[in-house]
């Protein structure tokens, strides 16, 4: 059997592109399904240009690939089930279904993986909000379709209830207690169906609910860092994980609380391309192919800064002044406001001195 595979990636954005680059280094061929023929992956792979829910296009992709994967979780799981052959999607569609719906996700995390999540309840209408104890704060989140803070309402007083009731009556939701966290952190873990390998703990700083800066290692105690990694491994093992998964968590003074999982490489793991001996994309490809996984070492403390549409010029200036910073641009044709256009990774022991693009100017 040839060790060179044809890998089909659903989604040709920056995550798909960086997966494809890792796959190509390893000698594999990549075909991408994306609605846009000029998507970032088109620079490095063949593209089937069709909507994600086009079952004929999914079948065409499945027919010409040995292995399939996806770069984002909102893929049509039923459509995939209809076209994939046995074992062709090592990540499986169950993981997709779990991460597409916060109700399934919370149930999986708290009852199956048995990790700590914020106390929550399922909300099917505003009636479920009638008796909440307003001495506590909450976040109401729609079960499906939310991202980067969309479909969410923070409840800190009775005045917030009007909007919260409207959200609760528009869609199924989960109501979570608000966590007074010190830091937001995440852990990347990859599996090959048998074993897992785990990356260092990342500290994440968001602006307007969009990741702006990642600092590695996260500035938490070794004890909490070990706990965060153990939680990520526990979740991966419960899933018999194939490929890369990101576990997003909150760190308090003495605890780690899981917020959500993303069943794919994640923006907070981009630093691993230069700062680790294998990247989250390398281990994703190795994992979905069932290959042995390396232990991960961080070369040096690192910082990653996202470049949004409004930051492109500032980032270009930055790298001319800091030539040891690694610039990644994803090849997106239009620099829209808040669109992720690229990122920069640099090594630094003084993360507070690494200033986010646009800080104080344009967030």
DSSP 88: S
How near is the Cβ of 56 to ligand AMP at its closest, in Å?
A: 33
How near is the Cβ of 297 to ligand AMP at its closest, in Å?
A: 28
Residue with smaller CB distance to ligand AMP, 49 or 183: 183
How near is the Cβ of 151 to ligand AMP at its closest, in Å?
A: 8
For residue 105, what are the contacts with CB-CB under 8 A and spacing of at least 6? 98, 99, 260, 261
DSSP codes, 264-323: S--GGGTTHHHHBSS-HHHHHHHHHTT-------B-S-EEEEEEEGGGHHHHHHHHHH-T
How near is the Cβ of 102 to ligand AMP at its closest, in Å?
A: 8
**∠ at Cα 337 (335, 343), nearest 5°?**
65
Residues of this chain that interact with ligand AMP (CB under 6 A) are 118, 139, 146, 149, 176, 178-179, 184, 206, 209, 248, 259-260
How near is the Cβ of 180 to ligand AMP at its closest, in Å?
A: 7
The 3-state DSSP class for residue 90 equals: coil
How near is the Cβ of 185 to ligand AMP at its closest, in Å?
A: 11
**∠ at Cα 224 (136, 91), nearest 5°?**
90
How near is the Cβ of 110 to ligand AMP at its closest, in Å?
A: 13
- DSSP lists the bridge partners of residue 184 as 204, 250
Residue with smaller CB distance to ligand AMP, 233 or 257: 257
Residue with smaller CB distance to ligand AMP, 4 or 209: 209
* CB-nearest residue to ligand AMP: 179
| Calpha distance 256→247 (Å, rounded) | 11
* Long-range contacts, stretch 75-82, CB < 8 angstroms, 24+ apart: 75/10, 75/11, 76/52, 79/53, 79/55, 80/10, 82/55, 82/58
For residue 280, what are the contacts with CB-CB under 8 A and spacing of at least 6? 188, 190, 199, 244, 246, 265, 266, 269, 270, 272
Residue with smaller CB distance to ligand AMP, 146 or 301: 146
Residue with smaller CB distance to ligand AMP, 73 or 176: 176
| Calpha distance 107→126 (Å, rounded) | 21
Residue with smaller CB distance to ligand AMP, 120 or 271: 120
Residue with smaller CB distance to ligand AMP, 120 or 278: 120
């Amino acid at each position: 059997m040839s060790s060179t595979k044809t890998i089909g990636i659903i989604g040709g954005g920056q995550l798909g592109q960086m997966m494809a680059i890792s796959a190509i280094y390893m000698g594999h061929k990549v075909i991408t399904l994306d609605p846009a023929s000029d998507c970032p992956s088109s620079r490095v792979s063949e593209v089937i240009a069709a909507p994600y829910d086009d079952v004929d296009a999914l079948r065409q992709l499945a027919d010409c690939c040995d292995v399939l994967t996806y770069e984002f979780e909102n893929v049509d799981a039923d459509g995939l089930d209809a076209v994939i052959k046995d074992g062709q999607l090592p990540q499986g569609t169950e993981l997709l279904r779990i991460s597409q719906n916060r109700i399934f996700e919370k149930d999986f995390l708290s009852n199956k993986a048995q990790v700590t999540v914020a106390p929550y309840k399922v909300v099917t209408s505003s009636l479920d909000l009638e008796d909440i104890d307003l001495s506590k704060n909450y976040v109401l989140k729609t079960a499906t379709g939310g991202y980067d803070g969309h479909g969410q309402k923070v409840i800190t007083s009775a005045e917030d209830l009007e909007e919260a009731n409207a959200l609760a009556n528009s869609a199924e939701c989960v109501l979570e207690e608000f966590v007074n966290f010190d830091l937001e952190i995440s852990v990347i873990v990859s599996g090959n169906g048998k074993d897992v390998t785990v990356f260092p703990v990342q500290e994440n700083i968001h602006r307007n609910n969009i990741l702006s800066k990642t600092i590695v290692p996260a500035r938490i105690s070794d004890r909490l860092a070990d706990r965060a990694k153990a939680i990520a491994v526990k979740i991966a093992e419960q899933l018999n994980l194939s490929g890369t998964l990101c576990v997003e968590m909150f760190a308090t003074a003495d605890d780690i609380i899981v917020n959500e999982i993303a069943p794919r490489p994640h923006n907070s793991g981009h630093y691993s391309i230069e700062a680790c001996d294998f990247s989250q994309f390398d281990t994703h490809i190795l994992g979905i192919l069932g290959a042995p996984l390396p232990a991960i070492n961080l070369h040096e403390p690192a910082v990653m800064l996202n470049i949004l549409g409004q930051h492109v010029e500032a980032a270009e200036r930055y790298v001319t002044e800091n030539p040891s910073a690694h610039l990644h641009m994803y090849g997106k044709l239009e620099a829209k406001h808040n669109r992720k256009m690229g990122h920069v990774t640099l090594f630094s022991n003084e993360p507070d001195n690494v200033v986010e693009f646009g800080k104080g100017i344009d967030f």
